[in-house]
A and B are shown apart, each in its own frame.
Chain A
Amino acid sequence: MLLELKNVTKDYPIKKFIFGQKGRVRAVDNVSLTLSSGENLSLVGESGCGKTTLARIILKLIPPTSGTICFGGRDLNPLSARQMNPFRRHMQMVFQDPYDSLDPRYTIRRTLKEALHLDQTLVKQTKAQEERIQHVLRSVKLPEMMLSRYPHELSGGERQRVAIARALMMNPKLVILDEAVSSLDVLIQRQIIDLLGDLQKTFHLTYLFISHNLKIARAVSHQIAVMYQGKIIEIAPTEELFRNPLHPYTQELLAAAVDYQAVESKQHPINPTGQLVDKGQGHLIFM
């Protein structure tokens, strides 16, 4: 098991200014997930449903309020920042907007080189570093001349390739792609999705793909988990979910993504004592 989440919950305190009351908002609510090596999982849901918060918890960028995260069998929770370092190289993230996530004052070479700092053995090994940079750059199908360029000189698709290349510098096992193609046009989206497929084979990666679009999630994942108000409300193998969406919210998402049909928006009441129930063939629904 590459990654295992058990009952992960994240609360944020909120202040209500009018009455001065304190409250909390539950961004992630009792989420349990497992990822096996090579089995891509997509997290799908509308904005604000907790997808990105969950991704940040997995990377230990923010601590969960409760629950455990095991990576390769090790519980990450009790680890200090220093103890966490050897794990960081195995889990990388690619963000939605490569313009925001690349340093505008770094050349592409420097951006890629910086990622190698996680590996102490490579310090001062200029030649090995350069080889690694060249190798990864070729893998994401960018020409060598890109190395001396700055992010503003690149197109959106090229920038996203650089962001992916940076994530691959340390040979990670898990790559979290947070809306990684949402800001690109359809032609480039298709290219990047195809590229991700190739890279998975060459680098033996596992993807956790975060998206609001079920159609794009379908193209990259073996399993899809649908999130709603911080909870996973349905999880199933990709084709099974498309054939047989059980939860009304999943059906709404499918209608919007596939047929561009707006369903009269309903609140889907969440049973507070509910849990995921197995419907067979790995298809679980929250009820």
Chain B
Amino acid sequence: MSEPLLSLRDVTAEVDGVNESPSLIHRVSFDVTALKIVALVGGSGSGKTTTGLSILRLLPVALRITSGKILFHGEDLFALPGHRMRQIRGKDISMIFQEPLNALNPLLTIGQQINEVLICHMPLTAKQRRERVLELLNIVGMAEPQRVAQNYPHQLSGGMRQRAMIAQAIAANPQLMIADEPTSSLDVTLQAKIMDLFRELRRSLNLSILLITHDLGMVRHLADEVVVLQAGKIVEQGPVARVLESPRHQYTQQLISSVF
């Protein structure tokens, strides 16, 4: 088997400066192999987002990784100097968030925000960048890329904002996208469309996705592998079909039976 794209090994995160604080995530280990969609599931507070943020070294200052390694192409992300990490963030690994209205800058147009990513990570001329912005908006299924590029986030609907954020996340051709509850704030018809877009992006851009969600219905229809977190610990992991058809752990069973 080929080397995994991303491996977490015994990653533990704690609140900094508090003795004997319970760890937020405890010895979390899993792999994301190329072209796979891996789902990280659990109830609120189970450590899903903490895990996602720790991969990009974006944890709030009060939280600290106390042990473990995160390897990206075999390189330990924690050992990298800050400027090297900034090259990876947004370029090789990007992230999208649950609420695009909070994640997008209200003062910049969609086009400007995507352009920012291109300036940081791509050796393109201004003209090429303009074309690339429109191309990206087209890839994520925007009907009128020209107009959307000039719009501010508040002028777009929820579904379009989410697409704009995805366009930003794939702007620099990343290998891995971390999607933190990408559809929770959308209604069901839009959810299904965003899931379709993810499948499409994986195929056309060779993208691997780490999908953070609590919706096992979505996992069943989208992901290849699933990692179940409860209170910061992995309680079950494996291929989606096996885990969802015959869950071993009581918490996984509970999650499955909660899906309407």
Contact = CB atoms under 8 A, between A and B. Distances in A.
B193 interface: yes
Interface of B: 43-45, 157-158, 184, 187-193, 195-196, 214-218, 220-222, 254-255, 257-260
A263 B190 CA distance: 10
A216 B260 contact: yes
25 contacts: A47-B157, A47-B158, A155-B45, A183-B184, A185-B43, A186-B216, A187-B43, A187-B214, A187-B255, A188-B43, A188-B44, A212-B188, A212-B189, A213-B188, A213-B260, A214-B188, A216-B260, A253-B188, A256-B192, A260-B195, A262-B189, A262-B192, A262-B193, A262-B195, A265-B193
A155 B46 CA distance: 13
Given A185-B44, A256-B191, A260-B191, 14 more contacts: A46-B187, A183-B184, A184-B44, A185-B43, A186-B215, A187-B43, A190-B258, A213-B187, A218-B260, A253-B188, A256-B188, A260-B221, A263-B189, A263-B192
A265 to B, nearest CB: 7
A256 B254 CA distance: 23
Contacts of B44: 155-156, 184-185, 188
A255 interface: yes
Contacts of A213: 187-188, 260
Contacts of B43: 185-188
Interface of A: 46-48, 155-156, 183-190, 193, 212-216, 218-219, 252-253, 255-257, 259-263, 265
Interface of B is mostly: helix
Contact of B258 (A156, A189, A214, A253): A189
A213 B184 CA distance: 12
A50 to B, nearest CB: 13
Given A155-B44, A212-B187, A260-B221, A186 B192 contact: no
A227 to B, nearest CB: 12
A206 to B, nearest CB: 21
A257 B193 CA distance: 11
B254 to A, nearest CB: 7
Contacts of A262: 189, 192-193, 195-196
B102 to A, nearest CB: 13
Contacts of B184: 183
A252 B189 contact: yes
Contacts of A219: 260
